[in-house]
């Protein structure tokens, strides 16, 4: 696929992501193209969708029920200590005062936003792992920064007894990596490896952790975990061999390796 | 926040109701949206989007994320062969400060069939399978029309704003 064709395809997939209608194969394709092109979320498409939906809804808007409005008003003040990230520009006490004066609130928010120019909205549109970081570097960075790291060793099934590996995962960052050694190279046009994350707190069905390849001649490979759905309490990580592009629900005909989270 | 709840509570609630299966879920979406708003107000830039679009975007994010988690069973349907798309700049501007009349003008430039699908989806709140049942169109066609229609509307709005004058409009 040419670069221009890839960009067009990515844009179409991004529109699908924003409309909430990507299937599993398309989600995997979105992730691959995102890494290949170094592109992430497209804010302008998301704003277009929001503008359309907002415009239609305003004609038939339903008032927020009083009990829910009261609940929101009660809950919001509980956030007295927000994350002190650079993205949180307005400190909570200031925020609360500002919203007693709506016009001032938006004006000052705009001023702060302008001071930080273009930054934060576009930052959110970038992929979480900058393309210049290799998988190894990104994994090492995760090891340094994650305070809730889960680590577990992979054990190969009978046919894959020669492989070994480790998985690291952070619930808070929703980021993880597998370091796999002696896993046989696959032929991407015939089959691909797919990771599944078992998270009983979420669902009895495993969550897709992304499709990946092991290139020939590579003894050890570091593979980023790509989970389109949030995982909060992983109990196990399972690698299967599936058809190219992966599957939505694995029949687990070829289970390659398993790592139980302790 | 009082102002936001009063002014935009109805918008957020209406969006939440479209995507949630019951009142309790819609309530969760509303709470999460206003929490997001509380956390991200510093990111709001009126030169990028109107207040209602910005808040609508936050509500849609939460609502679609909720619907995605609920479904867990994506419908697999092959898409039709790629058709020609408008030329797209590799780095399109993020800003899209459009008013209601701009949105309506952009929608009118879409092909009639796409306008009909947009109306069913965005106006009547129909899901893709419901649109398939209503129109008799294949699911892949509905998805493609919505996706490409959205890209076209964005491009038309950019052109109206003079951001991307070279972009072609809807087919």
Question: Considering CB atoms only, which of A48, A61, A90 is closest to B41?
Answer: A90
Q: What is the pLDDT of residue B93?
A: 61
Mean pLDDT, residues A111-126 taken together: 41
Pick from A63-72, A114-123, B9-18, B137-146: least confident? A114-123
Q: Tell me the backbone φ, ψ of residue A51, rounded to 5 degrees.
A: -65, -40
Q: How far is A209 from chain B (nearest CA, A)?
A: 14
pLDDT digits (tens, 9 = 90+) for A148-206: 899 999 998 888 888 999 999 998 888 899 999 999 999 888 899 999 998 887 776 78
Answer whether A135's CB lies under 8 Å from A223's CB. yes
Cβ A89–B35 below 8 Å, yes or no? no
Other Cβ atoms less than 10 A from the Cβ of A36: the count is 13
Answer whether A53's CB lies under 8 Å from B104's CB. no
Rounded percentage of chain A residues whose pLDDT exceeds 90: 31
Q: How far is CA A243 from CA A191, A233, A240, A246, in A?
A: 5, 28, 10, 5
Interface pTM, i.e. ipTM? 0.82
Instruction: Report yes or no: B76 at the A interface, CB cutoff 8 Å.
Output: yes
Scan for tokens 């398993």, then name that residue: A258
A46-55 exposure pattern, b = at least 16 Cβ within 10 A, e = fewer: bbbbbbbbbb
Q: What is the pLDDT of residue A132?
A: 67
Q: What is the pLDDT of residue A55?
A: 92
Question: Considering CB atoms only, which of B67, B94, B104 is closest to A125?
Answer: B94
Helix pair angle (B139-160, B100-108), 10° resolution: 130
SS3 A62: coil
Q: What is the pLDDT of residue A128?
A: 45
Angle ∠(A163,A164,A166) on CA atoms, nearest 5: 145
Q: How far is CA B35 from CA B7, B18, B38, in A?
A: 16, 20, 5
pLDDT at residue B45 tops 90: no
Question: Residue B120 carries which DSSP code?
Answer: I
Cβ B118–A52 below 8 Å, yes or no? yes
Answer whether A246's CB lies under 8 Å from A24's CB. yes
Contact residues on chain B for A22, CB-CB shorter than 8 A: 74
pLDDT digits (tens, 9 = 90+) for A4-18: 889 999 999 999 999
Question: Considering CB atoms only, which of B30, B74, B96 is closest to A48?
Answer: B96
């Amino acid at each position: 696929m040419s670069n221009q064709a890839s960009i067009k395809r990515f844009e179409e997939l991004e529109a699908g992501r924003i409309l909430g209608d990507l299937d599993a194969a398309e989600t995997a394709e979105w992730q691959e193209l995102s890494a290949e092109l170094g592109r992430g979320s497209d804010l302008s498409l998301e704003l277009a969708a929001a503008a359309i939906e907002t415009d239609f809804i305003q004609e038939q808007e339903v008032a927020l029920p009083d009990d829910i409005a009261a609940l929101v008003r009660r809950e919001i003040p509980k956030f007295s200590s927000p994350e002190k990230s650079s993205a949180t520009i307005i400190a909570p006490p200031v925020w609360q005062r500002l919203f007693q004066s709506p016009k001032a609130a938006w004006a000052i928010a705009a001023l702060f936003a302008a001071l930080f120019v273009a930054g934060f909205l576009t930052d959110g549109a970038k992929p979480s792992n900058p393309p210049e970081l290799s998988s190894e570097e990104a994994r090492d960075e995760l090891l340094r920064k994650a305070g809730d790291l889960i680590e577990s060793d992979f054990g190969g099934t009978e046919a894959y007894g020669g492989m070994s590996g480790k998985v690291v995962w952070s619930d808070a960052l929703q980021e993880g990596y597998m370091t796999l050694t002696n896993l046989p190279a696959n032929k991407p046009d015939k089959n691909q490896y797919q990771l599944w994350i078992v998270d009983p707190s979420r669902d009895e069905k495993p969550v897709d952790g992304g499709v990946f390849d092991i290139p020939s001649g590579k003894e050890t490979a570091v593979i980023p975990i790509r989970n389109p759905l949030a995982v909060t309490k992983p109990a196990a990580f399972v690698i299967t061999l599936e058809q190219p592009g992966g599957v939505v629900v694995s029949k687990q005909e070829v289970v390659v390796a398993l790592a139980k989270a302790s | 926040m009082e102002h936001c709840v009063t002014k935009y509570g109805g918008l957020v609630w209406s969006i939440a109701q479209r995507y949630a299966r019951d009142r309790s879920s819609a309530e969760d979406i509303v709470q999460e949206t206003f929490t997001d708003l509380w956390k991200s107000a510093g990111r709001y830039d009126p030169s990028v989007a109107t207040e209602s679009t910005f808040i609508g975007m936050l509500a849609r994010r939460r609502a679609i994320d909720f619907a995605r988690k609920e479904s867990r069973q994506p419908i697999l349907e092959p898409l039709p062969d790629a058709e020609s798309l408008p030329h797209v700049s590799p780095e399109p501007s993020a800003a899209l400060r459009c008013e209601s009349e701009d949105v309506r003008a952009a929608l009118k430039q879409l092909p009639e069939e796409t306008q009909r699908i947009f109306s069913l989806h965005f106006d009547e709140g129909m899901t893709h399978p419901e649109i398939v049942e209503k129109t008799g169109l294949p699911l892949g066609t509905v998805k493609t029309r919505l996706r490409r229609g959205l890209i076209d509307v964005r491009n038309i709005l950019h052109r109206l704003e003079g951001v991307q004058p070279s972009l072609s409009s809807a087919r």
